[in-house]
Amino acid sequence: MKKLKHNYGMTIAELLIVVAIIGVLSGVAFIAVDRYQRSMGQLERDGIAKEIFVAAQNHLTAAYGEGYLGANASGTEEATGSGIFYFVYPENGFTSNGSSILDQMLPFGSIDETVRAGGSYIVRYQKEAGLVLDVFYCSRNASPTRFNHSLTSGNYTEAIGMKGDDQKPARRNCFGGAILGWYGGDEAAELAKIELAAPTIEIRNAETLSVTVKDASENYGKSASIRLLIKGELSGKEHYIDVSADLLGKEIVLDDITVSDRHFRVRSFDDMTHDIMQDDNGFIPGENLLIRAVAYSNSELSNLAYSAEKTTNSLYADGSTATTAYISNIRHLENLDKTVSKQDENDSDSDGKLNIAKAVQIRDLNWTTDDSEYWINNTVTDTGKELTGKGKYYPVSPDYAITYDGQGNSVMNLDIDFTGPAGMFGTLSNSNEIKNVIVRNNLEDDSALEIKGSGSAGGLVGSMTGGRITNCAAAVYVSGANAGGLIGSASNVAVTDSYAGGHTENGKYLTTESGEARVNVIATGSSGGLIGSMTGGSAENCYSTCSVRGTAAGGFAGTASGTISNSYCTGLVLGPGDVTHSSTVKAFVGSDNGVTASGCWYESAVNAIHYGARKAELKTANSQDADLVVEDLAAGCANAFPFDKDRPNGSGGIITAFQAYNEFLGTGFEPDEAKPYDAFLKNHYQKTGATDKTDYPLKTIQQLDNSAPDFLAVHYGDWPAPEILVVNPAA
């Protein structure tokens, strides 16, 4: 029987033959791949060279036509008298003043930045004719490194010998293995020429800062691209946005403080969302921006069609300068806060940056506008933690010395829930001056609005150290640790010709702490109709018609030291509860810490009526708490008198309520206009002969000080119309 022979694999000889064959094939394959890589690299670099050529020729033509090709804008001449010049990048580089020929050929925004500054190239041109002859291009700092080379003048002669298709093999492996791209010659001479029309731009500097670019209809169907060019007027920094077809006619947002990372700070534009991120080499927050759009082609010869250049401010209203910020909307106001805007401190002009020392409000501002949905996501800190609740106003704390002039305008319908001092301004600690501004509401029902802070809270300012408040008013609901109708806490602040307006229902103060016409100013600590806690400083020609509740509570100030003169209050003053009263619940100043008052007044009837009724209720209920009720609140400090009841004259006689009232009002008193929230007051005090005006029966600021501006001849907010009225007994 024949035995079968089994073949279990290749012999060693066979295996060696296979390995040899694979090695040969691999070598051939690697060579093919390398050649393919170089061939593709050659096409890519030739394409980039063409892009540079077209961009350089288009801009050179424009510069030539405008007479910019002077003696100082030349490269190196190829040979004496030849008229042919060349420029090498990065060897010759760009200049900061744009005077080099390379700056004119390839200005900012002419081609992609990666090409303009990221590659290495030689541009060869005829200066007098304004004609580009050749462009040679190499990559730098790319992979694989064997394809890279940084061109120098020393490569010029060798490079010009490597042009045209016949030299492609040499250009694929020159300068130590680098690939040299080239464009020029006959192919360049046959480039088509197209005529482009200028695009247009529209700038919207409002709740957001945005630019809308519209292309000219004449450019449709042409190989035209559109770029938005933005330059900082002070910094000189330049950035651009490629305006793709889907962005044409749409708002490109530059500054939006309500969305994370879409706020102008200092950055370069580098993505389709146009988020504006921080960049040390970017714009200066608050500087003016010079904006224009350009239609251009990097594939065909063309003219450069620029839109008209427009100027807008990056943070504030147009017209703002390096020292003055104009405020025409809430975004501008919020940008005064350095946490929001990242604006530099204005301690010096030595850095050449902004020195905002004054802000001027040029119209009324309204938080609850038709664009209120734009404020759903509010400003966040650098760590991502929310500074304030969703849809809430962020109290402005400039953290630098500034004068804010409202010019008699209002800031309306603020809604604040803030961890810290709260008000239109949060914390002012640099001897700031705030003047000529009114914080108020203009809604029929403003009960949903409140200025609330975990620290001190005031209608105008939460906490202020040093400085002045002049010709200001607030008529809003306030609550905080220390709270005042105008200022929560004031330390060594001079307050002049200012007031706080209250809320009533049918001419009466309510004791509720929620809903419409609730207690106007509520504090866990010191609560005052005008100032919650006053330490030093002064208040002159001021008043409050706010109701208050606090541990230390006063119709004018909760706690006070310093001086108060020619001022008055009318508010219902409540302690922590409705029954008991501590020694720091008073009609004018709750806790006197060394205050000097002169010419000051308060209305006593509102407190007497409330506490008299409360005492009667408790007696009827046989409650022992009735004995704890003090019906007649004392002033709380010397030289503050009631203008609505009899009092001793100090000589055994009596100053009657009628006499006190006339002394308070002065001779020739005529009611000024009021704008109350309470419909009862509008009807009850309707101005004689005018169906749309209401009389204010007490003194306005202009009547306390006749030098005050005219807008202070109007009272915003409510006041008490007590059941016991002061009347002329002889009438």
Q: What is the pLDDT of residues 175-195, one digit of tens each?
A: 888 899 999 988 888 888 899
d(CA 180, CA 152): 13
Contact 606, 571 (CB under 8 A): yes
Whole-model pTM: value is 0.83
d(CA 113, CA 31): 34
Residues 180 and 210 in one domain: no
pLDDT at 299: 82
pLDDT score of 271 more than 70: no
Last residue of a domain, one of 151, 185, 219: 185
Mean pLDDT over residues 15-32, rounded?
A: 56
**Side chain identity at 305, as an amino acid letter?**
A
Residues 718 and 610 in one domain: yes
pLDDT score of 265 more than 50: no
Q: Tens of pLDDT along 476-498? A: 999 999 999 999 999 999 999 99
Any bridge partners for residue 548, and if so which? 521, 573
Could you write out the three-class secondary structure of 487-550? EEEEECCEEECCEECECCECCECCCCCCCCCCCCEEECCEEECCEEEEECCEEECCEECCCEEC
Q: Tens of pLDDT along 424-472? A: 999 999 889 999 999 999 988 899 999 999 999 999 999 999 999 999 9
Q: Which pLDDT band, with edges at 50, 70 and 90, does 91 fall under? A: confident
pLDDT at 68: 57
Contact 142, 148 (CB under 8 A): yes
d(CA 283, CA 315): 11
Residue with tokens 């890589």: 37
Q: Judge whether 711 lies within some domain.
A: yes
Q: Judge whether 286 lies within some domain.
A: yes
List phi, psi (to 5°) of 70: -85, 180
Residues 630 and 731 in one domain: yes
Q: Tens of pLDDT along 650-689? A: 787 898 888 999 999 988 899 999 999 999 999 999 988 7
List phi, psi (to 5°) of 547: -85, 150
pLDDT score of 518 more than 80: yes
Contact 559, 593 (CB under 8 A): yes
C-beta neighbour count of 79 within 10 angstroms: 7
pLDDT at 631: 79
Last residue of a domain, one of 185, 211, 242: 185
Residues 262 and 340 in one domain: yes
Any bridge partners for residue 136, and if so which? 122, 182
Q: Judge whether 190 lies within some domain.
A: no
Q: Judge whether 80 lies within some domain.
A: yes
d(CA 456, CA 433): 19
Beta strand pairing status for 324-327 and 358-361? parallel
- Sign of CA pseudo-dihedral 270, 274, 277, 281: positive
Cα–Cα–Cα angle for 620, 621, 625, rounded to 5 degrees: 105
Q: Judge whether 598 lies within some domain.
A: yes
Q: Which residues contact 448 (CB under 8 A, 6 or more apart)?
A: 415
d(CA 584, CA 157): 94
pLDDT at 388: 54
Please compute, for residue 453, the number of CA atoms within 13 A of its CA located in the half-sphere on the CB side: 33
Residues 600 and 654 in one domain: yes
pLDDT score of 63 more than 80: no
Beta strand pairing status for 589-598 and 600-602? unpaired
Residues 143 and 275 in one domain: no
Residues counted in the chain: 731
**What's the domain range around 595?**
410-731
pLDDT at 430: 85
> Is the model more confident about 340 or about 644?
644
Q: Tens of pLDDT along 360-399? A: 999 999 987 544 433 434 444 443 434 455 678 889 999 8
Most confident of 26-40, 109-123, 455-469, 682-696: 455-469
Mean pLDDT over residues 86-111, rounded?
A: 75
Residues 208 and 177 in one domain: no
Q: Which pLDDT band, with edges at 50, 70 and 90, does 122 fall under? A: very high
Contact 472, 486 (CB under 8 A): yes
Q: Which residues contact 388 (CB under 8 A, 6 or more apart)?
A: 378, 379, 394, 395, 416, 417, 418, 419
pLDDT at 181: 93
SS3 content of the chain, % helix, strand, coil (to 5): 20, 30, 50
Last residue of a domain, one of 185, 213, 244: 185
Q: Judge whether 192 lies within some domain.
A: no
pLDDT score of 66 more than 60: yes
d(CA 568, CA 640): 8
pLDDT at 278: 42
Closest to 562 (Cα-Cα) out of 595, 527, 531, 532: 595
pLDDT at 241: 82
Closest to 253 (Cα-Cα) out of 311, 291, 203: 203
pLDDT score of 557 more than 70: yes
H or E element: which one contains 14? helix 12-65
Give the percent of the chain with pLDDT over 90.
49
- Sign of CA pseudo-dihedral 290, 296, 299, 303: negative
pLDDT at 208: 85
Q: Judge whether 726 lies within some domain.
A: yes
List phi, psi (to 5°) of 185: 70, -150
Any bridge partners for residue 435, and if so which? 405, 470
SS3 165: helix
Question: In total, how many domains does the chain have?
Answer: 3
pLDDT score of 31 more than 50: no
Residues 94 and 226 in one domain: no
Closest to 287 (Cα-Cα) out of 362, 363, 341: 341
Residues 386 and 432 in one domain: no
> Is the model more confident about 445 or about 3?
445
C-beta neighbour count of 532 within 10 angstroms: 38
SS3 564: strand
Give the percent of the chain with pLDDT over 70.
81
d(CA 489, CA 464): 6
H or E element: which one contains 421? none
Q: Give the CA distances from residue 569 to residues 548, 615, 718, in Å, rounded to whole numbers and listed in that order.
A: 11, 24, 12
pLDDT at 399: 86
Residues 116 and 211 in one domain: no
399-409 b/e with 16+ CB inside 10 Å = b? bbbbbbbbebb
Residues 444 and 364 in one domain: no
H or E element: which one contains 189? helix 185-189
Closest to 720 (Cα-Cα) out of 585, 571, 574: 571
Closest to 562 (Cα-Cα) out of 598, 602, 597, 600: 597
pLDDT at 7: 53
Eight-class DSSP state of 730: T
Closest to 207 (Cα-Cα) out of 339, 367, 358, 390: 367
Mean pLDDT of the chain: 84
pLDDT at 545: 98
Q: Tens of pLDDT along 616-656? A: 888 898 888 888 888 789 999 999 999 999 888 878 789 88
pLDDT score of 73 more than 80: no
CATH number for position 560: 2.160.20
Closest to 551 (Cα-Cα) out of 564, 563, 533: 533
Closest to 478 (Cα-Cα) out of 418, 536, 538: 418
pLDDT at 553: 96
Mean pLDDT over residues 209-228, rounded?
A: 90
Residues 117 and 233 in one domain: no
CATH number for position 225: 2.60.40.10
d(CA 720, CA 127): 85
Mean pLDDT over residues 23-41, rounded?
A: 59
Q: Judge whether 620 lies within some domain.
A: yes
